[in-house]
Structure 1
Amino acid sequence: MLDKLEMFIALARESHFGRAAERMNIAQPTLSAGIKQLEAQLGVQLVYRGSRFGGLTPEGQAALVWAKRLVDDVRHLRDEMRISRQGLTGEVRLAVIPTAQTWAGRLCTAFAHRHPNVRFTILSRNSREILQMLDDFEADAGISYLENEPLGRVDTAELYDESYILVCARNSPHAKKRSIAWSELDGQTLALLTPDMQNRRIIDQLFAESGVTPATYIEANSIIALVASVASGHCMTVLPKEVASFLSGGKDIALVPLDGASRQQKVGLILPHRDPRTPVLSAMLAEAQRLTAV
């Protein structure tokens, strides 16, 4: 039944028989037959059918929750059985907010040094998508903000405090300043992350507290796009200090400290609250705590 549950999950995710079959690397008739066999085994209709996929029935919605849980449990069972023979092994799917990508690389590298048989897939997502992926068993862990917005029932380990800096071209009038007040950004042309990013909501809140109304020139869900826009000399941006320092290296860009509204945001590892926790995720939590202590 496990393969049929995986087909069902793929169909629910893609909302299209062809794309789901492609995702599973099988023929579409094979997927359709698998869904019908699963319905026969469970004794209920899971999918509305017409000329195309019509959505999940109420029974299908309920079955999807169980399907995700069962497939995830089997995956963890296989990992634990391998661990009993080979030590820590397997794959960790880590969903990470864009501003924490450098820390994701640091954490995964440190973990891999201790446990070379564990592989990582790092996925860039916004904070709300990360929580949804954890709930849907599509990610094993995340790195996101810990305090600004509700997280739900998760376990966390703080990694660092995020502080902010102005990023501008070296020929900008602000480039040679030792620091700049947030209030001086009022009316300035800025490139910022899109509103679906929690970092943008944090920055907007800091702007509001300082009485700033920025002129948003470019919005992007990529920090690289923001830095490239700044390098063109037509705008500035506000970014977390660490990722700004990492991306500005070797570029004609200046980093200017921001004075005034300097409240920091805690960023850390987020794990689903499950008992028992898998050995790999327990070791990952310990590695995050070790990095923070260092």
Structure 2
Amino acid sequence: MLLRQLEYLVALARERHFARAAAACYVSQPSLSAAIRKLEHELDVPIVRRGRRFEGLTPEGERVLLWAHRILAERDALRHELSAMRGGLAGTLRLGAIPTALTAASLLTTPFVERHPRARVSLDSLPSRDITQRLAEFELDIALTYLDDESLGQVRKTPLYEERYLLLTPAGGPMQGQRTARWAQIADLPLCLLSPQMRNRLIMDEYFAADGVAAVAPAIETDSVAGLYAHLAAGRWSSVISHAWLHMFGVPDGMRVMPLEHPSHGPRVGLVIADRSPEPVLARALLEIAREAGVREALDDLLDTYLHPADLPEQRLDGTVAATDQPRDGTGTASG
């Protein structure tokens, strides 16, 4: 059995098409097909259900695929171990992140690459169910997700921060003059929220329900934080955001953020790694960065900057900044 045969099988299972799998492996389709047939012969089991086109894997093939992922992951781990012994980590860290935590990923990936300049990061935005599956199938080294997700299975968890929910609303709108808001109070605002299938939205719906709102009906729903902010820039809509989003997007001109009451903190977000030994070397290196990065403190400091405008250049009620002062970008630092 050759590792190349296992690579072909993994590519075929991913692409679900012989020609695309061959192209992904930079070989001809006959070469890929012949290698998988040879693997079937060596293992003495049928792996691929064949017809006029690819029809999936047999039950035996699914088991072989799981072992293929495991064997290839162990090979990569060996390479990374040897690379570290030769003078520094190299290779690609495969990091998955739920969309609502993606905005905070750079707090980890930037110092990781700075410390390990020979390493690279492949960062994928994934729903939580895909993160669980790809960790189990050795397709991710580590993931950034909700730690209280019951579907995670056997993983090791490293907490980073707790989501803190804020109302992002026009500065001169109906909430003008208030310092905090209740979930029931904002349900009737013109809202733009994430889509109902996203876990972040499901959590928010629970908080609305706990405050007496049977069903919130936003005018606009989107499956990305970027899509949400694209609508908020118009100055018409309000939204509920996580404070971690301020790291990337800040507060649009003419808007303000307000804390939402009860609860003051939301679910925990952190890094998860499959509960197996040895840990992938690159994943272990990212965990070391996470223990030093102070993600919770950095996000809380940023939130404090936006919640206490007295610490900022003079801010008018309409959300604009006095002309003599420099505006601030999404990180809370002076820009321009």
TM-score of the aligned structures, taking structure 1 as reference length: 0.92
2:5 is matched with which residue? 4
2:45 is matched with which residue? 44
CA shift digits 1:263-289 (9 cap, x unpaired): 421111111112122333222212212
Letter in 1 for 2:74: D
Q: Distance in 2 between matches of 1:196 and 1:86?
A: 45
Mean Cα deviation higher: 158-167 or 275-284: 275-284
Q: CA deviation at 1:171?
A: 4.7
1:240 is matched with which residue? 242
Paired residues for 1:1-294 under 5 Å: 1-212=2-213, 213-244=215-246, 246-249=248-251, 251-292=253-294
CA shift digits 1:90-117 (9 cap, x unpaired): 2101101122223211111122222222
Q: CA deviation at 1:190?
A: 2.3
- CA 1:275–1:233: 2 relative to 1, 3 Å: same
Residues 185, 214 of structure 1: 8 Å contact kept: no
Q: Distance in 2 between matches of 1:242 and 1:123?
A: 18
Residues 233, 252 of structure 2: 8 Å contact kept: no
Mean Cα deviation higher: 208-217 or 135-144: 208-217
Letter in 2 for 1:76: A
Residues 227, 248 of structure 1: 8 Å contact kept: no
Secondary structure, counterpart of 1:165 in structure 2 = strand
Q: CA deviation at 1:54?
A: 1.2
Letter in 1 for 2:279: R
Residues 141, 280 of structure 2: 8 Å contact kept: no
Q: Distance in 2 between matches of 1:175 and 1:3?
A: 63
Sequence identity percentage:
39
Unpaired runs of 5+ residues, structure 2, are: 298-336
Residues 144, 270 of structure 1: 8 Å contact kept: yes
Q: Distance in 2 between matches of 1:246 and 1:272?
A: 28
Q: CA deviation at 1:205?
A: 1.0
Residues 190, 214 of structure 1: 8 Å contact kept: no
Q: Distance in 2 between matches of 1:85 and 1:186?
A: 58
Residues 159, 291 of structure 1: 8 Å contact kept: no
Unpaired runs of 5+ residues, structure 1, are: none
CA shift digits 1:9-54 (9 cap, x unpaired): 1111222222222322333222222221221222221111111111
Q: Distance in 1 between matches of 2:254 and 2:211?
A: 28
Letter in 1 for 2:201: R
The structure with the larger Rg is 2
Q: Distance in 2 between matches of 1:8 and 1:144?
A: 29
Which consecutive segments of 4 or more residues in structure 1 shift more than 4 A? none
Q: Distance in 1 between matches of 2:41 and 2:142?
A: 35
Residues 175, 256 of structure 1: 8 Å contact kept: no
Q: CA deviation at 1:7?
A: 0.9
Residues 95, 121 of structure 2: 8 Å contact kept: yes
Bigger fraction of residues in strand = 1
Letter in 2 for 1:41: E
Secondary structure, counterpart of 2:161 in structure 1 = strand
Q: Distance in 1 between matches of 2:139 and 2:31?
A: 24
CA shift digits 1:152-180 (9 cap, x unpaired): 21111111111101122345322553222
Mean Cα deviation higher: 88-97 or 249-258: 249-258
Residues 197, 221 of structure 1: 8 Å contact kept: yes
Residues 205, 216 of structure 2: 8 Å contact kept: no
Q: Distance in 2 between matches of 1:49 and 1:148?
A: 37
Residues 171, 256 of structure 2: 8 Å contact kept: yes
TM-score of the aligned structures, taking structure 2 as reference length: 0.81
- CA 1:235–1:86: 2 relative to 1, 3 Å: same
Q: CA deviation at 1:250?
A: 5.1
Residues 167, 258 of structure 2: 8 Å contact kept: yes
Residues 209, 261 of structure 1: 8 Å contact kept: no
CA shift digits 1:188-226 (9 cap, x unpaired): 332222233221111111111112232122222210101
